[in-house]
Structure formats: structure tokens, C-alpha cells
Amino acid sequence: MPRRGEEKFCLGEIAGLGLRNGFFRIAVFKDSAKKQTDLYLLSNPLNPQLWKATSSRDSIQLSREQLLSPIAGGMNQTFFDLLMPFVFWPEEYLKSGKVAGRPAHLYQFSCPVEITRARPDWKTVRLSIDDAYQAPLRVEILSDGNQPVRSSTLRSYKKMGDDWIVKSLDCLDHRTRSNTRLEILAAATNLDLDPVSFTPQKFMLPLAIPDSSYEYFKQ
């Protein structure tokens, strides 16, 4: 959603084995029939890595700098935003307070050299954690002058069985004032997925999840 001009829409899928596994896949559909797809595998926020599937059903490993690139052209959200590697950087507890109307704890993380080399205007990352659910409410990337460069804010979440999942979040570029909204349209949990489908050698193969496994959400 740019500050001026027409909005742009893009469909995709995110799939993973679980929070502690460290690997997940992102598919970005390039047409409405979902026949042309950019498929990526991300792993391990402690040592972030990114692969992209090729047309020959092989994969190539992309550079760490490409983690900072938009997942879809013309949009704000990056692989970095979903992987959140900053939780392993040097941290400082700031305070507790209200964020988006909820009690939260605020932490600040110092950007390492490899990040500031690629993004010289990035100095720190500020993370707000919900006091009750221990879930990220807001992530702000700040410049030297402590001015926000970009931010991701949780807008809504939904309970599926015993789990809470993100339903929508905004990613705002504070300089252009453009916003990208990630909205989850449907989700499937408690699936028996093959771990081999989340390896650099096999992640380009279909997951074959039946449509009946999904719960579709009202928008």
C-alpha cells in the first residue's frame, strides 16, 4: 500500500515444521493459477541462510545480504523480517509498558557489522514482546538518531487448536510511508510433514497438503 498510487497484491504460502526446527519455506506466486512460483528455503536465525529453487529443480544458495531484500518486488517485507535473526544479537532490556494497547516488555539489539555494512542507516532493532503471550507485538529498526527506519506491527492473531498464529501484520517504511500488510487467509496446523521437504536438496518438491486441512478466515 504505497503512500500514493495503486495498491499491489501478491499471494504466497509459508510452511514449516515447528518453531524449534529452524527451517521454513516461502512460496511467492507470480500468477493467479499458482503455476509460476518463486520458492525459497530459510534456516537458522543464529546463522541465517537462504536458498532459492531453480527451474531445473535444483537450488542455489543466496547471499546473506539478500535476506534484506523484499520477498516480493515492490513490497516492504523482507526475509529478515520473518527470520528475525536479531534475537541472537547483543541485547539490552529497556522497560515494560503498553504497546498497541497491550502490556509488553521492550528489548533493544545492536546491529552487527555485517548488517550495518549492507544497511549503514541501521543502528539498533527494538522489539516489543507481549507480556501474556510472549509474542512479538512490534519490531522497529532505528537509525543513529534513534529515528525509526522501518517497523513491523502485529495487527491481529487467531487461535487454532492450542496454538496462536499471526493473522495480519503491517510492515511500514517510515521514509516513503509505504505499508505492506501480510494477511493470513487460511492456515493448516498439526500436519505430518516430511522433514526432507525442508532441506536444500528437496524443498522444491510439492508438500501435497489437502485443501480439507485448511481453515479459511473471514476478511
Closest CA to 76 of 165, 7, 145, 126: 7
pLDDT at 168 over 80: yes
- What's residue 19's pLDDT? 65
Closest CA to 15 of 218, 219, 217, 214: 214
Identify the band that residue 33 occupies on the pLDDT scale cut at 50, 70 and 90. Answer: low
Q: What is the mean pLDDT of residues 37-41?
A: 91
Residue 106 has pLDDT above 90, yes or no: yes
The count of other CB atoms within 10 Å of the CB of residue 184 is 15
Element holding 118 (H helix, E strand): helix 113-118
Instruction: Reply yes or no on whether the pLDDT at 59 is more than 80.
Output: yes
pLDDT at 53: 92
Domains detected in the chain: 12-216 (2.50.20.10)
**Which residue, chain included where needed, has cell 518453531?**
19
> Can you tell me which residue has the cell 487448536?
161
What is the DSSP-derived secondary structure letter of residue 112? Answer: P
